[in-house]
Amino acid sequence: MLAGSTAVIVGAGGGIGSAVARSMAAPGIRLGLVYRSSGERVARLAAELEGQGALCLPIAADVTRLGDVEAMVGRVVDRFGAVDVLVNTQGRLSRLRWFLEETAEEIDAYVEVELKSVMHCCRAAGAVMVRRGGGRIVTVGSDSGKVGSTAEAVSSACRGGVIAFSKALAREWARHAVTVNVVCPGPTETGLLQSVREAGGVTSEVLERMIRTIPMRRAGTAREVADVVAFLASREASYVTGQAISVSGGLTMC
């Protein structure tokens, strides 16, 4: 579905980001694997994918800084000649906390990582796509952005902002054949989720209660999310844009 394309995966060292890279991997695909602090993990991932015929370029970048993002996209274009696909999977570890307990610094940190960094990446990569006359942008958000989650007001606001922003971009860039979509997971089995379980406390208890309310009675897997991302990034999804698709076992149906 993606052979011959150049894809930039932001957050490639994370559970969902690495699963997206594996789902996309095919002989001839070119992958920019963007990470902030997981260099060894991404190097191992790149070696694995190159064994399957992919061409990989690991890049360290702080995507909360527009200058870093522009430099990252420039490196991909210099190496591979294009950016056909952008996948945003970056996020921040969310602890359940009432809004009145959030500090101004914590709010700013959420906004920087979960909203502004997505805008930075879309701006830099999208400019290349618009200039070239086509592309795919897929952001991994959260069902909380659709419905609002108790004790996750700030993260929900950022995720909801990503959905609205993506729909607006989809309208603006449709005439340039650039599609923009969001994939909204529910609880997903990743290292991040496991760390919440191991930490225990209220956040872990609420997580387990939430999983029990999922109609399919389990958390999702990173690969289940990644496969939907890979489809939306493919040529086969050329007529799908402006959508926020839940991958949550029926937890959210809207």
Domains of the chain, start order: 6-247 (3.40.50.720)
pLDDT category of residue 199 using cuts at 50, 70 and 90:
low
Rg (CA), the chain: 17
Work out the average pLDDT over 110-134: 98
Work out the average pLDDT over 232-244: 98
The better pLDDT of the pair 194, 92 is held by 92
Task: Determine the pLDDT at residue 170.
Answer: 99
Q: Flag whether pLDDT at 150 surpasses 70.
A: yes
Q: Flag whether pLDDT at 77 surpasses 60.
A: yes
Task: Determine the pLDDT at residue 137.
Answer: 99
What the block records as the tokens of 60 is 């360290």
Lowest mean pLDDT among 48-52, 201-205, 234-238: 201-205
DSSP 3-state of 11:
coil
Share of the chain above pLDDT 70, in %: 94
Q: Cα 9 from chain centroid?
A: 8
32: left (phi over 0), alpha (psi -120 to 50) or beta: beta
How high does pLDDT run on average in the chain? 93
As a whole number of angstroms, the distance between CA 59 and CA 180 comes to 23
